Homo-oligomer: A and B are copies of this chain.
Amino acid sequence: MQRAEPVSTTGPGMKATIRNVAKLAGVAPSTVSHYLNRTAQLAPETAQNVERAIAALDYRVNWGARSLRLKRTHSIGLIIPNINTPYFGELAGIIENVLWDRSYQMLLCISERDPERELSHFATLVSRQVDGILMVYNQERENRAAQTKTPVPLVFLDRAVTGAPSVSSDNYLGGKLAAEHLISSGHRQIALLSGEPAIRNVADRLAGFNDVLARHGLRVLPEHTLEGLQDLELGSRVGELFLKRPYPTAVFATNDIVAISAWCELVRRGFRVPGDVSLIGFDDIQMSRFLVPPLTTVAQAAPRIGREAVELLVDLINRKDQFVNAAPTHVKVAPALMVRGSVAAPPEGGEP
């Protein structure tokens, strides 16, 4: 039992609940509810009274209570590895915008690539009754993906996951675009700054890249390949590609961050880009446009990915029949080559 609150039950000190608004307006709570939700037409005078009461109490609906009743919170959860990786940050921004248009609220969760944390966030979101979840899945090897029971509509972002709907770039195509551009620019000795090939996205980019090379009778030499986490550190190891001749004349980095840090390191070592070495990245993060010259890269269409993902999720949410039964949709968004300044013909008289 609740103890009685020592609050005046009729003054402006009364709590702003629908019940009190009703009392103050001299109507029933349901009438107020109807007014708020435009679910019935009130007599003008009644409406007036309700309006006044609402204003007097500075009343706002309690979304928590409404959600409990309606079983819809009109909120969705977004789980991403982190927010400072520009690509994810941009994605998050876009998604917030699309959700705003549809008047959904976004719970942002950052996993820091920690599977435990990711799982915990997921559970919390479910517990909070979000209407759906958007998620950049962290598990490199997908083991867990299949097991994921989804008590809530779920769309995977950025990486395709078997058995669940997803929206991602066509990474294979992206890899092809990079290779074609390098080859048509005249490069034959091409090096690779690769992420971990166990990661599906990386693998796809590599596959597309290598397939095109192979078709031209080319391949990347083992000593021209560096693998690692796709971060700044990997790029800064670019020097290892230039230990012995023949030097590569172009480098494909599987993301822009790596490309940019490689670029810095190359400049530090006296190489000019693209004069001595050409460089092509992947993602098209904002920063890429501000290098001098700007970075040639394969653009993932973040805006389209974000928008499609939200739309897919909202469809799932509104679907009357159980989403569980539907065959999962996989949306693949085509990336685009952004020809800018970091790729040129290989140097004339051999290498620097």
Q: Which of B64, B260, B290, B292 is A64 in contact with, Cβ under 8 Å? A: B64
Assembly CA distance A27 to B163 (angstroms): 39
Q: Which of B63, B75, B82, B96 is A93 in contact with, Cβ under 8 Å? A: B82
Assembly CA distance A63 to B126 (angstroms): 9
A52 at the binding interface (Cβ < 8 Å): no
Complex contacts, A60 vs chain B, CB 8 Å:
123, 126-127
**Cβ < 8 Å to B, chain A residues 125-173:** 126-129, 149, 151
The interface bits of chain A over 300-329 (1 if a CB of B lies within 8 angstroms of the residue's CB, else 0) are 000000000000000000000000000000
Nearest B residue to A66 via CB reads: B127
Assembly CA distance A128 to B129 (angstroms): 13
Check B83–A96 contact: CB distance below 8 A: yes
Check A63–B127 contact: CB distance below 8 A: yes
Check A83–B93 contact: CB distance below 8 A: yes
**Cβ < 8 Å to B, chain A residues 17-45:** none
Check B96–A64 contact: CB distance below 8 A: no
Nearest B residue to A90 via CB reads: B84
A-side interface residues toward B, CB under 8 Å?
A: 58, 60-65, 67-68, 73, 75, 82-84, 86, 89-90, 92-93, 96-97, 100, 105-110, 112, 117, 123-124, 126-129, 149, 151, 232, 260-261, 264, 267-268, 286-287, 290-292
